[in-house]
Chain A
Amino acid sequence: MAVVGARRPSPYGEAVAERLAADLAAAGVVIVSGLALGIDAAAHRGALEAGGCTVAVLGTGVDVVYPAANAELAARILAGGGALVSQFPDGTQPRRQHFPMRNWTLAQLSDAVVVVEAAEGSGALITAEAALQQAKEVLAVPGSVFSPLSVGCHQLLRDGAGLAQNARDVLAALGRPLEVLDDPLRPPPRLGPAPPARDGLLAHLTDTLPLSAADLARRLGLPFAEVLGRLTGLELEGAVRQHGAGFVRLTGRRRRE
């Protein structure tokens, strides 16, 4: 199953990709993606977190990791029993024209393609197009109607792509509906015991919509300096992280990283 999407996703997209990949991997599905930044990396990460197997299809030679920021992730993919795959000879550097070819291969290696967040004209849409030409199933995750990152996915849905709200939807499309364990709307049970009591600010954050320290301070009527300090404290504990100008809560899975 391929999980692909934007290189600069929203926290929502990243959370969906990670969770979807983890749930699918836990159900025994091999997650295929492109080792790009953003959704691709989140999908690989989710699969690895669930102890699953994941395959990265590269647009460079297998000995060239691009982007370099994902070198560690590539190593973890190999360590987790996955594979780095490329159609290009060793030492091939990244080139613009290679990536659409890679996308075709990626679709070829998958039974179906799930698109999580794609702006108009995004590479993920090329992968979806390739999958359609190869008569593979294409699914898309809906997003916010305000976000430009949802445009591509919503277009796919309008054109007849399957609706992917959770792993259950995806597995149904693969014809394996019974293996689903988790409903992403509920915290997955394997997260272990609840974390110890933390700063009450945590209750005001979500894991998808970033909230800035200033907004939070205004909402709670607290001094900005105090709120910023407490949020940084939470970040130090690994309970929240910064995304752009705001903070989001980390899901249990990422916290274990």
Chain B
Amino acid sequence: MLAAVDSCLLRGLEGRRVEVQVDVSPGQVGFHVVGLAQTSVKEARERVRAAIRNSGHTFPLRRLTVNLAPAELRKEGSGLDLPIAVAICLAESGAAAPPGSAFLGELALDGAVRHVDGVLVAARWLRAQGCRSLFVPAADAAEAALVPGFEVYACPSLAAVMQHLLGGESIDAQLPAALQAPPEPPEADDLAEVHGQEAARRALELAAAGGHHLLFSGPPGAGKTMLARCLPGILPPLSLEEAIEVAQVRSLLGDLPGSGPLDWVRPFRSPHHGISQAGLIGGGSGLARPGEISRAHLGVLFLDELAEFDAATLQAVRQPIEGGRVTITRSGGSVSYPARFQLVAATNPCPCGWAGDRQRACRCTPGAADAYQRALSGPLLDRIDLRVGVSRPPLEALASEPRGEASAAVRERVVAARAAQNRRQGCLNSLLKPARLREHAALEPAARRALERWAAERGLTARGFHRAWRVARTAADLEGAPAILERHVLEALGYRLAEAVAA
């Protein structure tokens, strides 16, 4: 007797269809799994056998062959437990799986269906392949229900699935999730809590509006981390499609809460500086798993103590910054993950951290401070348009000053400026290459003179020149000005901290 059930395996954010074929025939009693099954799939035999028995079904005492097709694809993970068990039960009873259905789930020995990672990714891929119904672990049903136009069955146990398929008590299809963004984005760190720090505030607004990467430089206790945490709150809230993209990466890592899988707040990731290259950009054996840069997709990646990161690790971030994706090849094949994040880096100005502070003197020799700044330089810094010095606010400012402008007000300006950029050029200013800058970021004559004169007198490099130009475009967009005026250029040139660093 023969039965077949569909399932899928994930390679990054892509899927591969796997057909689980079961043949039960006379011969020596045995249970064979073929089709390049790795250890984790081979082990499924024991789980499947126990689960079927403990669900009140009979396990065939004949020659049982499970083929996982296509046979050339290496199969790993526990998600094939459920389809294998279902196929065996169907073969025994002579029934067929509903057309256009797919199964995914791990089995416990008592027949309960357990969580597997990546259900959202699998559901989206299967839907795109024309699949119509999906049986997933009850714990993951909310994830799968995010995909519209799809019947999702939350499976508590193998027994319930078989009853449903063989015409007993049926499982109700999961209702599609409500895909409305909450009217008010939930509380993030608010700029209203930041005292003073006008330069850093303004830089955050420019960074948010133009998508520019940002570097804060300042002594310990200046509030660099707090400022960075405010950035997600002034970025426009995620759109539905974006929220799902963010959720997909989390789903792969088994990181989605079952209660409300969609999070409308932009991710904020701040890996410690001891992180390995695999941890930052993704890696692992077999197929690579997403790293921090992919978890920060569409959000903010905050690298505190930039100078302490391993240089090779930072180098690896360069290509994803340019392309918005990262492709990693491991023994199991190549996978590609999205990594369109906004970088906020923070550093001390010198090894002791106190250069330029009002109250404390820097103890570094001039040579040491220069060497520290040079160590920071390099290709990564080249991608950072905005570099701002942050100083510790005077204590009296903390006590007396009125609270700053709230994030919501800043966000409104940011949203308007981003809309203007998308209308004009279809992308954010930070992505404008020099040729497109000339096309879309016209400089008033006075503005051009100021920029050129500065470049000539201060030895601005071509990169530095374009950085200032892009930032000036964003400053103009925040004002709603069609052309870039002299004051926009002058402001942009004002954020040139550590110009010598990596000009």
Contacts and interface: CB of A to CB of B under 8 A. Distances in A.
A231 B356 CA distance: 19
A104 interface: no
B366 A225 contact: no
Interface stretch (A72-80, A130-138, A156-164, A211-219): A211-219
Contact of A229 (B197, B356, B494): B494
Contact of A213 (B196, B356, B453, B494): B494
B366 A224 contact: no
Nearest to B356: A244
Interface in B376-402: 389, 391
Contacts of A218: 196, 198
B488 interface: yes
Interface in B453-503: 453-454, 457, 475, 486-488, 490-491, 493-495
Nearest to B362: A8
Interface string A9-37: 00000000000000000000000000001
Residue in A8, A213, A245 whose Cβ sees the most chain B Cβ within 10 Å? A245
Interface in A194-225: 212-214, 217-218, 224-225
A226 interface: yes
Nearest to A246: B356
A224 B202 contact: yes
Given A7-B366, A225-B475, A232 B493 contact: yes
A150 B386 CA distance: 36
B115 interface: no
Interface string A40-70: 0000000000000000000000000000000
- Judged by DSSP, the binding face of A is helix
A229 B453 CA distance: 15
A145 interface: no
A172 B486 CA distance: 51
A226 B202 CA distance: 11
Contacts of B389: 245
Nearest to A231: B494
B499 to A, nearest CB: 10
Interface in A90-105: none
A125 to B, nearest CB: 17
B491 A232 contact: yes
Contacts of B450: 233, 236
B366 A214 contact: no
A235 B158 CA distance: 75
Given A224-B201, A236-B453, A229 B196 contact: no
A214 B198 contact: yes
A26 B20 CA distance: 96
B391 A232 contact: no
Interface in A225-254: 225-226, 228-233, 236, 244-245
B42 to A, nearest CB: 63
Residue in A149, A218, A228 whose Cβ sees the most chain B Cβ within 10 Å? A228
Contacts of B366: 7-8, 37
Interface in B326-380: 355-356, 361-362, 366
A148 interface: yes
A13 to B, nearest CB: 13
A225 B491 contact: yes
A228 B205 CA distance: 15
Contacts of A37: 366
Interface in B181-224: 196-199, 201-202
A212 B198 CA distance: 10
Nearest to A149: B361
Interface string A162-195: 0000000000000000000000000000000000
Nearest to A37: B366
A236 B199 contact: no
Given A212-B391, A224-B199, A236-B454, A244 B355 contact: yes
Nearest to B196: A214
Interface in B296-348: none
B294 to A, nearest CB: 34
A229 B361 contact: no
Interface in B420-478: 450, 453-454, 457, 475
Interface in A116-156: 119, 148-149
A244 to B, nearest CB: 4
Contacts of A8: 362, 366
A140 to B, nearest CB: 19
A47 to B, nearest CB: 22
B197 A214 contact: yes
A233 B490 contact: yes
A229 B490 contact: yes
Nearest to A247: B494
Nearest to B201: A224
Contacts of A119: 361
A121 to B, nearest CB: 12
A92 B491 CA distance: 46
A230 B199 contact: no
A218 B197 CA distance: 10
Interface of A: 7-8, 37, 119, 148-149, 212-214, 217-218, 224-226, 228-233, 236, 244-245
9 contacts: A149-B361, A212-B199, A213-B198, A213-B199, A213-B494, A224-B201, A228-B199, A236-B450, A244-B356
Interchain residue pairs A-B with the least CB separation, the first 8 = A224-B198, A229-B491, A244-B356, A229-B490, A228-B494, A214-B198, A232-B494, A232-B490
Given A228-B490, A244-B355, 15 more contacts: A149-B361, A212-B199, A213-B199, A217-B198, A224-B199, A224-B201, A224-B202, A225-B202, A226-B491, A228-B202, A229-B490, A231-B494, A232-B491, A233-B450, A245-B389
